[in-house]
A and B are shown apart, each in its own frame.
Chain A
Amino acid sequence: DSGVTQTPKHLITATGQRVTLRCSPRSGDLSVYWYQQSLDQGLQFLIQYYNGEERAKGNILERFSAQQFPDLHSELNLSSLELGDSALYFCASTRQGNTEAFFGQGTRLTVV
């Protein structure tokens, strides 16, 4: 158990819909990262938050947005969903002073 919690584990939704994925980092971790892993593909960085502020942005589409709340949990919002958005979405958290990232078990999103 990495200590990073993601909900829901599975999500099936229709094209055009909007979903919210949730991530609770390890206790004390201020940084949260979001990643997308499509079928048989590598892990693509989407966005990072640090203590409530956006820190870095990667391959995140304009239809996607994220935020980190005062209790440090983070949400990734995906809207106007397309079939190609079907993927595993992972979040990870890190602690200042440590170098390794710890990943949640992911949310498998299926858009039909």
Chain B
Amino acid sequence: DAKTTQPTSMDCAEGRAANLPCNHSTISGNEYVYWYRQIHSQGPQYIIHGLKNNETNEMASLIITEDRKSSTLILPHATLRDTAVYYCIVRVAGEWYGGSQGNLIFGKGTKLSVKP
């Protein structure tokens, strides 16, 4: 599995766009980029995923660079309820076992704090 690098923490003002970056320079051609978030020890929540095209859904937009070595998750109008740890994961489609660094599926992620 490709390793991902994310900033440890970020702040965002309520109502503004939150842009969360992720580097995945060793991504393979058949690996997707997934984003999940975890709000205070709740179950990880699926946000969005993509292979090479930009994607948008009701929660967020995913921008993947042309070389696929990095991506950005965009929450267009962040609210206080978006405060969470955001995980960028690179995986072959549908394979949620194994993982880099000895079966580590999710790493540390980015702790996003949305402030009033």
Contact = CB atoms under 8 A, between A and B. Distances in A.
Contact of A58 (B36, B41, B103): B103
A50 B91 CA distance: 18
B97 A45 contact: yes
Interface stretch (A11-19, A74-82, A101-109): A101-109
A35 B41 contact: no
Interface stretch (B11-19, B58-66, B105-113): B105-113
B94 A99 contact: yes
A73 to B, nearest CB: 17
- How many interface residues does chain A have, given as a range? 20 to 34
A83 B41 CA distance: 19
Interface in A25-65: 31, 33, 35, 37, 42-46, 48, 55-56, 58-59
Interface in B25-47: 32, 34, 36, 41-46
Contacts of A45: 96-99, 103-105
Contact of B106 (A43, A48, A55): A43
B103 A44 contact: yes
A20 interface: no
Contacts of A58: 97-99, 103
A92 interface: yes
Contacts of A103: 36, 43-46
A88 B85 CA distance: 16
**Most B C-beta atoms less than 10 A away, residue of A31, A56, A100, A104:** A100
24 contacts: A6-B43, A35-B105, A42-B104, A42-B106, A43-B105, A44-B99, A44-B103, A45-B97, A45-B103, A46-B103, A48-B96, A48-B97, A56-B97, A56-B98, A58-B97, A88-B41, A90-B44, A99-B32, A99-B34, A99-B93, A100-B46, A103-B44, A105-B42, A106-B41
Interface of B: 32, 34, 36, 41-46, 49, 93-94, 96-99, 102-108
